[in-house]
């Protein structure tokens, strides 16, 4: 899961891209990068580990000139968290350049990489995304969009792509539509982004979603669209609405805030907590769901946990040790609201249980009499191979413990999860067309042949965790 943002035909495109990446920082906090192309078709790249605010000083931004730019914020799901895996990728090929930013996971990355290496390709990273760059470089299509379409034939899994070939910006979304990608107008130019909140910050007017299986090309002649990829059933990621996207975004043509409030209301109907004094959220991604729960149950909503906003999202940290450490400094309870109370603590999901167990201890230490945990999604029991960093079943606490064991392990008085059907019923476009493999174990595609090697980026012969 990453954030991507691109601009065509607007002066100081890199500066706008930097702003867009700030809005997409929640989608990845490990590295950030921008590629800019000037009027002479010179491409320049700046990449750095860490947050957007840490990676682009005045000198870096001054060098990124021109009316074309694409940017990326990374959350590593394939390939180590290291500078060689930062995006966008920039490659020089036959007096030309290819730049690429990718959000998603390729499920056949191992096979793609092996085929390319057998043909003499040399990789400089452990990212699955680099395989697409090699395939574009080898494509022979008559137009940029035809080259991209040729390169994507046989590529499986989830991808939203922003690509620059010389002075053409190309946009592609996989036929299943796993990840969100939208487009907007800014004057005479175009803006593309993972979420609508990034359009808002630069003043772009939302036009539409990039359609599943669509390839768009934008150049001096205008915008063109083709559907050259084999059609497939739609499988949008329900976790975008549950957790990942910002609540002020519209994802898959529906308000994230509205869907999360609906999740909370459905949770209150399925898993009530009679006699509770207050409801509070694990901020910030659970705020809307907790509001919905409080509204439906008629229980007072309070801000009983205060989040330190200078700490990143603990779920998307690259290692377990970092996640544990950051939980300790991320939240602080409001003792006056909790002392002597029976409380409902609403969270959007429980993945590894690291955050939840620590928070329950904090809430009890602050004087809560009873702690009732309510989760606005179903138990996560299966790995995700389409862009969420849960590749090992052994990491998923709900797959390893019974309900009663979870209650004891987390230290709660009761635990209630939303059902899969209840969760899907709240989606803005109805329950159909969503991927719920991580909740159900029912995968819509063939699973990777070597999932551990996929996590390492498909780099055959490299030890796991290669950095």
Structure-model confidence comparison of residues 322 and 338, the more confident one: 338
**278 and 363 inside one domain:** yes
Query: Which residue do the tokens 């966008």 mark?
Result: 88
**Half-sphere exposure for 275 (CA within 13 Å, toward CB):** 7
pLDDT of residue 463: 35
- Residue 137 structural domain: 3-235
Residue 358 inside a domain? The answer is yes
**298 and 177 inside one domain:** no
The pTM of the whole model exceeds 0.85: yes
Residue 442 inside a domain? The answer is no
**217 and 349 inside one domain:** no
Query: Average of pLDDT values for 347-359?
Result: 93
Residue 67, Ramachandran bin (φ over 0: left; ψ between -120 and 50: alpha; else beta): alpha
The count of domains in the chain is 2
Residue 360 inside a domain? The answer is yes
**40 and 99 inside one domain:** yes
**415 and 342 inside one domain:** yes
Report whether 242 contacts 377 (CB < 8 A). yes
Cβ neighbours of residue 80 closer than 8 Å, sequence gap 6 or more:
126, 456, 457, 465, 466, 467
Mean pLDDT taken over the chain: 92
Query: Which residue do the tokens 């739609």 mark?
Result: 234
- What is the domain-level CATH number for residue 31? 3.60.20.10
Q: Kind and range of the H or E element at 76?
A: none
**276 and 143 inside one domain:** no
Residue 464 inside a domain? The answer is no
Residue 451 inside a domain? The answer is no
Separation CA 116–CA 29 (nearest Å) = 30
pLDDT over 80 (residue 206): yes
Poorest-confidence range of 63-67, 74-78, 144-148, 253-257?
74-78
pLDDT tens for 62-85 read 999 999 999 999 987 666 778 899
Q: Which residues are catalytic?
A: 2
**228 and 297 inside one domain:** no
CA 275, distance to chain mean position in Å, is 37
Query: Average of pLDDT values for 373-390?
Result: 93
Whether residue 88 is preceded by a cis peptide bond, meaning omega within 30 degrees of 0, is yes
Residue 242 inside a domain? The answer is no
Residue 138 inside a domain? The answer is yes
pLDDT over 60 (residue 349): yes
Please state the φ and ψ torsions of residue 235, each to the nearest 5 degrees. Answer: -140, 70
58 class by beta-carbon count within 10 Å (0-12 exposed, 13-18 middle, 19+ buried): exposed
- What is the domain-level CATH number for residue 396? 3.40.50.2020
**120 and 185 inside one domain:** yes
**207 and 83 inside one domain:** yes
pLDDT of residue 317: 54
**283 and 372 inside one domain:** yes
pLDDT over 90 (residue 93): no
**221 and 261 inside one domain:** no
């Amino acid at each position: 899961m990453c954030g991507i943002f691109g601009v065509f035909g607007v002066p100081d495109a890199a500066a706008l891209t930097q702003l867009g990446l700030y809005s997409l920082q929640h989608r990845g906090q490990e590295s950030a990068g921008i590629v800019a192309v000037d009027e002479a078709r010179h491409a320049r790249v700046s990449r750095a580990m860490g947050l957007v605010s840490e990676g682009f000083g005045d000198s870096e931004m001054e060098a990124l000139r021109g009316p074309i730019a694409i940017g990326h914020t990374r959350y590593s799901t394939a390939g180590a968290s290291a500078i060689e895996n930062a995006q966008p990728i920039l490659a020089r090929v036959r007096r030309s350049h290819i730049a690429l930013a990718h959000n998603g996971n390729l499920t056949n990355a191992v096979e793609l990489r092996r085929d390319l290496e057998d043909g003499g390709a040399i990789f400089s990273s452990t990212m699955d995304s680099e395989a697409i760059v090699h395939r574009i470089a080898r494509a022979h299509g008559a137009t940029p969009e035809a080259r991209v379409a040729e390169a994507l034939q046989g590529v499986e899994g989830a991808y939203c792509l922003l690509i620059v070939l010389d002075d053409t910006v190309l946009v592609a979304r996989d036929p299943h539509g796993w990840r969100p990608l939208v487009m907007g107008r800014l004057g005479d130019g175009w803006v593309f982004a993972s979420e609508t909140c990034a359009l808002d910050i630069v003043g772009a007017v939302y036009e539409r979603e990039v359609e599943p299986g669509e390839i768009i090309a934008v150049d001096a002649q205008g915008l063109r669209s083709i559907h050259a990829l084999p059609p497939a059933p739609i499988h949008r990621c329900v976790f975008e609405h549950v957790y990942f996207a910002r609540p002020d975004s519209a994802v898959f043509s529906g308000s994230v805030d509205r869907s999360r409030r609906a999740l909370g209301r459905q949770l209150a109907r399925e898993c009530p907590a009679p006699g509770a004094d207050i409801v509070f959220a694990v901020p910030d991604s659970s705020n809307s769901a907790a509001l919905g729960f409080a509204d439906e149950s008629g229980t007072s909503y309070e801000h009983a946990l205060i989040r330190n906003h200078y700490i990143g999202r603990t779920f998307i940290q690259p290692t377990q040790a970092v996640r544990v450490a950051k939980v300790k400094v991320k939240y602080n309870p409001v003792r006056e609201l909790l002392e002597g109370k029976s409380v409902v603590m609403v969270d959007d999901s429980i993945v590894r249980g690291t955050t939840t167990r620590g928070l329950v201890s904090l809430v009890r230490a602050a004087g809560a009499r009873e702690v009732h945990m309510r989760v606005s999604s179903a138990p996560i029991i299966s790995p995700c191979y389409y862009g969420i960093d849960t590749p090992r079943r052994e990491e998923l606490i709900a797959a390893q413990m019974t309900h009663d064991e979870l209650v004891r392990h987390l230290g709660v008085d009761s635990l209630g999860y939303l059902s899969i059907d209840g969760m899907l019923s709240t989606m803005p476009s109805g329950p159909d067309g969503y991927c719920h493999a991580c909740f159900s174990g029912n995968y819509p595609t063939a699973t990777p042949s070597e999932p551990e090697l996929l996590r390492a980026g498909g780099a055959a012969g490299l030890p796991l965790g290669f950095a």
